[in-house]
Amino acid sequence: MNAEFIQALEQIEKEKNISKEVLLEAIENSLLTACKNHFGTSQNIQVTIDNEQGNVVVLAEKEVVDNVEHKELQISLSDAREIDPNLELEDHVQIEVTPKDFGRIAAQKAKQVVVQKIREAERDLLLNSYQEKEKEVVTGIIQRSAKDSVIVNLGKIDAILADKEQVPGEAYLMNERIKVYVIEVKSGTKGPKIYVSRTHPDLVKRLFENEVPEVHDGTVEIKSISREAGSRTKIAVYSTKEEVDPVGSCVGHNGSRVSIIVNELNGEKIDIIPWNENVAEFIAASLSPSKVVQVAVNKPEKSAKVIVPDYQLSLAIGKEGQNARLAAKLTGYRIDIKSETQAKEIGFISKEELDNPDVLFLSASTGQNVEVDVNPFDESLFEE
């Protein structure tokens, strides 16, 4: 190694952002291992590299003694004083023991170390760049299937779309562009490992942030999401400004904004619900597209009883209970739904509940049952 090698390290430092000192230290450690293999591990060896000229020197530390018993570790007083007349017994002295062919060995080791460090630095850079995209939506290209997983190329690296993160019935065609939600980025032996999802509820949230400026800038907040990927999603939205309609902002003119997201999710239905701090009104809205007659909420028990028109019962419950199930996830309340006829027959809401101050009624302000239409837009968008 020589001055040109040092200049090369400085160039690598600039281009790859790897410190020259870090490279030299790694090279020294590599050479130290090579020296110990050459001299034997019992010898105290130190390898130094001149930061300016690149010269490599191997030094062995020895103790000054009267009688040398271990020549690898000891030196006689007379021999030591030939190096330094001021040395005394029990002092330590460093002696150069650089092997004749060490320049060739050093060059080989240096090349190996530099290549390895560059690879490590590139992996770390890649890891850091994608860790910044964790919990975000990115666009990739479907590369291939591997066992139960789908490999999605994100540009400089491939991501793994595991079976459990795939939407049932969704086709993943080679070379097709696809948006995915980055669940986790972690370091692996061969570089970063990136796990992505098409089923995560936050995929929908991030898509709304991308398509709706009011959501992106925080004017409209997405309070909660419940999703059954590939079928239906409910999101609760709230506006921080009275003059901004949160539902209208998310829907867009003639459904232009929400339709982009629906298309990206291959036709998955999306119910956009106005969030309300009044739990009864929020629960009523969460059952969209069904109309609601009355809601009785027991806050301490986190439960609600909902009465709907007879002809709306199946709509309120949804196919295989999906609508009610998503509403419960959205609101965090256990919801029991009955039709008006059923409610009258079984005394669905008891007198004790009517007298219970912990029970909140949707129509408490008027004292009358009020049919509330909470469907925010065209019901045809939500046909079962």
Q: Which CATH class is domain 278-384?
A: alpha beta
Q: What is the pLDDT of residues 110-146, one digit of tens each?
A: 777 777 777 777 787 788 888 889 999 999 999 988 8
Q: What is the pLDDT of residues 148-165, one digit of tens each?
A: 899 999 988 899 999 999
d(CA 250, CA 244): 11
User: Does residue 56 contact residue 49 with C-beta atoms inside 8 Å?
Assistant: yes
Beta strands in 264-380 (DSSP E): 269-274, 294-298, 303-308, 334-339, 359-361
The token pair that represents 207 in the structure block: 């898509």
d(CA 377, CA 19): 60
CATH number for region 200-275: 3.30.300.20
Assess whether the region 200-275 and the region 278-384 belong to the same CATH fold: yes
d(CA 190, CA 10): 27
Q: What is the pLDDT of residues 132-142, one digit of tens each?
A: 899 999 999 99
Mean pLDDT of 265-270: 94
Q: What is the pLDDT of residues 166-194, one digit of tens each?
A: 999 899 999 999 999 999 998 877 778 89
The 10 Å Cβ neighbour count of residue 10 is 12
The values of phi and psi at residue 8, to 5°, are: -65, -40
Domain ranges of the chain: 3-130, 134-199, 200-275, 278-384
Q: Selecting from 3.40.50.970, 2.40.280.10, 3.30.1480.10, 3.40.640.10, what CATH number does the domain 3-130 have?
A: 3.30.1480.10
User: Does residue 263 contact residue 294 with C-beta atoms inside 8 Å?
Assistant: no
Q: What is the pLDDT of residues 221-235, one digit of tens each?
A: 999 999 999 999 999
d(CA 337, CA 348): 10
pLDDT at 80 over 60: yes
At residue 323 the predicted structure's pLDDT band, cuts being 50, 70 and 90, is: very high
pTM of structure: 0.69
* pLDDT for the residue numbered 121: 76
d(CA 8, CA 11): 5
Q: What is the pLDDT of residues 327-382, one digit of tens each?
A: 999 999 999 999 989 988 888 877 777 667 666 666 433 333 333 333 333 333 32
Mean pLDDT of 74-81: 84
At residue 205 the predicted structure's pLDDT band, cuts being 50, 70 and 90, is: very high
d(CA 191, CA 125): 10
The whole-angstrom distance between residue 26's C-alpha and the CA centroid of its chain comes to 32
Mean pLDDT of 67-87: 83
pLDDT above 90 as % of the chain: 46
CATH number for region 134-199: 2.40.50.140
Work out the angle at residue 51's Cα, subtended by the Cα atoms of residues 50 and 56, and round it to the nearest 5 degrees: 30
* pLDDT for the residue numbered 107: 67
